[in-house]
Amino acid sequence: MHDLFREVHELFLATQFTGFMSKTVSRCNLYEFANIFFKHLTWLENDFIKRGEEYNYSVNQIPIKVDKLSMMINNIINRIESIEKKLDSCKDRDIVFRMQSDFNYIKLALKNIPDEDVSNCFDTKREYPNVKLTDEARNALTLFLFEESYKEYELIMVYNYSKANSSDAFLNRIFQILIDESFFHLRSFGEIMADMGILTVPRTIMEEVYKFNDLKQFLKDGIEEEIGAKEECKRLAEAVSSSSEYFASFFTFINNQENYHIALMEEALEHVS
């Protein structure tokens, strides 16, 4: 069951990041499939919790550097087939049935995805289409994208763990909103990384990051981090404003979204205080 859980987590990441590579409508399909695999992960997680069994979010490195989209599509199908062989390790037959049913359809749908050249997602040129970035803006943006793509993935998993292990409806509503918001940010950053030729899957998260004991302290630290992220977005918006009106506007938009995240975390903090 632990191998099954890890492989489903890896499948979710591989599919999500393959979605970033596509420049066609296939991106939407891959996003939807990634959502379904993430849902599978939460089902298996809930089964661990019901049985009182420890689990973690450790994953192996996921190589995605390919020239053609079809290479990743085949990789995803192979991952699904490997998972299918391990489904019996989950004793909840309803979960297994639902997962198998999803896999049957998704494998067929994946085979119909047209091929694309995706080599530019990994060429490290660090250029954005139709935008002339200064060296300073390019470097600041590169570092930001690496930091924040990891951070958003980390936040998705941290809030997901907190939600899975809490029965407080008020908090869980907030955690779910924060998960959804982090998904949006991860996807925004992932798409830019692919366009700039620096796409990569974030590293695995250390267990102590999501298995914390003090929710109040976690929320306080989270608010501080969001304030830091706001400042970074403001700096970036300034750094890229002369190069790109679009990027400046994008980072101002992300900056203002952080206000909402802070408000949600403050609401949660008040609830647990």
Partner 1 sequence: MNAESIVMEHMMNPQNYGEMRDSDAIGIGKNPQNGEKVAIYIKVREEDEPIIEDIKFQAIGCTTTIVAGSIITTEAKGVSFSRARELISLTLGMLDKQTPEDAACTEMVVLALQAAMDTYLERKKDRDFPIISYIIKTDCTPKEEER
213 binds partner 1 (CB under 8 A): no
Residue type, position 136, single letter: E
198 binds partner 1 (CB under 8 A): yes
What burial letters (b/e) apply to 34-69, b meaning 16+ CB within 10 Å? bebbbebbebbbebbeeeeeebbbebeebebebeeb
**Of 144, 160, 142, 149, which is closest to residue 201 (Cα–Cα)?**
149
77 binds partner 1 (CB under 8 A): no
Region of 2-10, 103-111, 196-204, 236-244 interacting with partner 1 (CB under 8 A): 196-204
Contact positions with partner 1 (CB under 8 A) in 83-122 = 122
54 binds partner 1 (CB under 8 A): no
204 binds partner 1 (CB under 8 A): yes
Selected binder of partner 1 within 24, 61, 166, 249 (CB under 8 A) = 61
Sign of the CA dihedral 121, 32, 211, 46? negative
Q: What residues contact 52, with CB distance under 8 A and at least 6 apart?
A: none
Tell the smallest beta-carbon distance from residue 109 to partner 1 (Å).
29
164 binds partner 1 (CB under 8 A): no
Region of 37-45, 146-154, 162-170, 249-257 interacting with partner 1 (CB under 8 A): 146-154
Region of 1-9, 73-81, 145-153, 174-182 interacting with partner 1 (CB under 8 A): 145-153
| Alpha-carbon span 47 to 50, nearest angstrom | 5
134 binds partner 1 (CB under 8 A): no
60 binds partner 1 (CB under 8 A): yes
Question: How much is the CA Rg of the chain, to the nearest whole Å?
Answer: 19
Q: What is the DSSP string of 156-221?
A: HHHHHHHHHT---HHHHHHHHHHHHHHHHHHHHHHHHHHHHT---PPPPPPHHHHS-S-HHHHHHH
Report helix angle 135-164 to 26-50, nearest 10.
40
Q: Residue 103 or residue 122: which is nearer to partner 1 going by CB?
A: 122
Contact positions with partner 1 (CB under 8 A) in 215-234 = 221
- Token pair in block for residue 148: 């924040």
75 binds partner 1 (CB under 8 A): no
Tell the smallest beta-carbon distance from residue 124 to partner 1 (Å).
5
270 binds partner 1 (CB under 8 A): no
Strand partners, 128: 131
Tell the smallest beta-carbon distance from residue 137 to partner 1 (Å).
15
